[in-house]
Amino acid sequence: MKKRTDKGGQIVWLAGLPLVLHYSINSLCAMEARAGMPLDRLLNHHFSATRLLLWAGLWRNYPGLTVWDAGELIGEHLQRGGALEDVIDACAKGLRASGLLDGEEEA
Protein backbone atom coordinates (compact mmCIF):
# COMPACT_ATOMS: atom_id res chain seq x y z
CA MET A 1 0.00 0.00 0.00
CA LYS A 2 2.73 2.45 -0.97
CA LYS A 3 1.03 4.25 -3.86
CA ARG A 4 -0.78 7.46 -2.88
CA THR A 5 -4.08 8.46 -4.44
CA ASP A 6 -3.89 12.13 -3.47
CA LYS A 7 -1.74 14.82 -5.03
CA GLY A 8 0.48 17.48 -3.48
CA GLY A 9 -0.60 20.39 -1.38
CA GLN A 10 -1.63 23.87 -2.48
CA ILE A 11 -0.06 26.92 -0.83
CA VAL A 12 -2.56 29.67 0.00
CA TRP A 13 -2.27 32.89 2.00
CA LEU A 14 -4.79 33.36 4.80
CA ALA A 15 -4.58 35.57 7.88
CA GLY A 16 -1.19 36.79 6.67
CA LEU A 17 0.23 33.24 6.73
CA PRO A 18 1.31 30.90 3.94
CA LEU A 19 -0.63 27.70 4.60
CA VAL A 20 -0.51 24.39 2.76
CA LEU A 21 -3.90 22.91 1.95
CA HIS A 22 -3.69 19.21 1.22
CA TYR A 23 -6.95 17.36 0.71
CA SER A 24 -7.08 13.58 0.78
CA ILE A 25 -9.75 10.92 1.02
CA ASN A 26 -9.01 10.69 4.75
CA SER A 27 -9.27 14.42 5.38
CA LEU A 28 -12.58 14.67 3.49
CA CYS A 29 -13.95 11.63 5.37
CA ALA A 30 -12.86 13.20 8.67
CA MET A 31 -14.61 16.41 7.66
CA GLU A 32 -17.84 14.61 6.79
CA ALA A 33 -17.69 12.58 10.02
CA ARG A 34 -17.20 15.74 12.06
CA ALA A 35 -20.09 17.45 10.24
CA GLY A 36 -22.35 14.40 10.46
CA MET A 37 -23.31 14.83 6.83
CA PRO A 38 -21.86 14.40 3.34
CA LEU A 39 -19.99 17.23 1.63
CA ASP A 40 -22.85 18.11 -0.73
CA ARG A 41 -25.25 18.69 2.21
CA LEU A 42 -22.60 20.45 4.28
CA LEU A 43 -22.11 23.06 1.56
CA ASN A 44 -25.56 24.44 2.42
CA HIS A 45 -24.11 25.59 5.77
CA HIS A 46 -21.87 28.42 4.57
CA PHE A 47 -19.78 29.22 7.67
CA SER A 48 -19.59 25.66 8.99
CA ALA A 49 -18.66 24.29 5.57
CA THR A 50 -15.93 26.88 5.09
CA ARG A 51 -14.43 26.23 8.51
CA LEU A 52 -14.51 22.45 8.07
CA LEU A 53 -13.14 22.61 4.53
CA LEU A 54 -10.24 24.73 5.70
CA TRP A 55 -9.59 22.39 8.64
CA ALA A 56 -9.69 19.32 6.38
CA GLY A 57 -7.22 20.91 3.98
CA LEU A 58 -4.82 21.82 6.79
CA TRP A 59 -5.24 18.52 8.66
CA ARG A 60 -2.31 16.67 7.05
CA ASN A 61 0.38 19.35 7.39
CA TYR A 62 -0.84 20.81 10.69
CA PRO A 63 -2.08 17.74 12.62
CA GLY A 64 -2.56 19.58 15.92
CA LEU A 65 -4.84 22.19 14.35
CA THR A 66 -8.41 21.99 15.62
CA VAL A 67 -11.63 23.01 13.91
CA TRP A 68 -11.74 25.90 16.36
CA ASP A 69 -8.25 26.96 15.21
CA ALA A 70 -9.43 26.90 11.60
CA GLY A 71 -12.27 29.21 12.59
CA GLU A 72 -9.79 31.50 14.32
CA LEU A 73 -7.70 31.66 11.13
CA ILE A 74 -10.80 32.64 9.18
CA GLY A 75 -11.66 35.28 11.79
CA GLU A 76 -8.13 36.70 11.62
CA HIS A 77 -8.33 36.76 7.83
CA LEU A 78 -11.60 38.70 8.02
CA GLN A 79 -10.19 41.14 10.60
CA ARG A 80 -7.29 41.84 8.24
CA GLY A 81 -9.77 42.96 5.58
CA GLY A 82 -10.11 39.64 3.77
CA ALA A 83 -13.40 38.11 2.72
CA LEU A 84 -14.98 34.75 3.45
CA GLU A 85 -14.99 34.20 -0.30
CA ASP A 86 -11.16 34.29 -0.22
CA VAL A 87 -11.20 31.30 2.09
CA ILE A 88 -13.79 29.50 -0.01
CA ASP A 89 -11.74 30.16 -3.16
CA ALA A 90 -8.58 28.89 -1.44
CA CYS A 91 -10.34 25.69 -0.40
CA ALA A 92 -11.77 25.21 -3.89
CA LYS A 93 -8.28 25.67 -5.36
CA GLY A 94 -6.90 23.09 -2.92
CA LEU A 95 -9.68 20.64 -3.74
CA ARG A 96 -9.05 21.02 -7.48
CA ALA A 97 -5.32 20.51 -6.92
CA SER A 98 -6.01 17.29 -5.00
CA GLY A 99 -7.54 15.66 -8.05
CA LEU A 100 -10.19 14.05 -5.83
CA LEU A 101 -13.26 15.80 -7.18
CA ASP A 102 -14.45 15.08 -10.70
CA GLY A 103 -10.88 14.20 -11.64
CA GLU A 104 -10.11 17.93 -11.92
CA GLU A 105 -6.64 19.28 -11.34
CA GLU A 106 -5.48 22.88 -11.00
CA ALA A 107 -3.94 24.14 -14.23
Tell whether 43 is covered by a domain: yes
Tell whether 104 is covered by a domain: no
* Phi, psi dihedral angles at 2 (to 5 degrees): -90, -35
Tell whether 2 is covered by a domain: no
State the residue range of the domain holding 94: 10-98
Structural domains of the chain, count: 1
Tell whether 3 is covered by a domain: no
Tell whether 5 is covered by a domain: no
Tell whether 46 is covered by a domain: yes
What are the angstrom distances between the C-alpha of 105 and each of 26, 46, 66, 92?
A: 18, 24, 27, 11
Q: What 3-state DSSP class applies to 79? A: helix
The one-digit pLDDT tens for each residue of the chain (107 residues) are 344 444 568 888 888 889 998 988 898 899 889 888 888 888 777 888 899 999 999 998 898 999 999 999 999 999 999 999 999 999 988 888 888 876 544 44
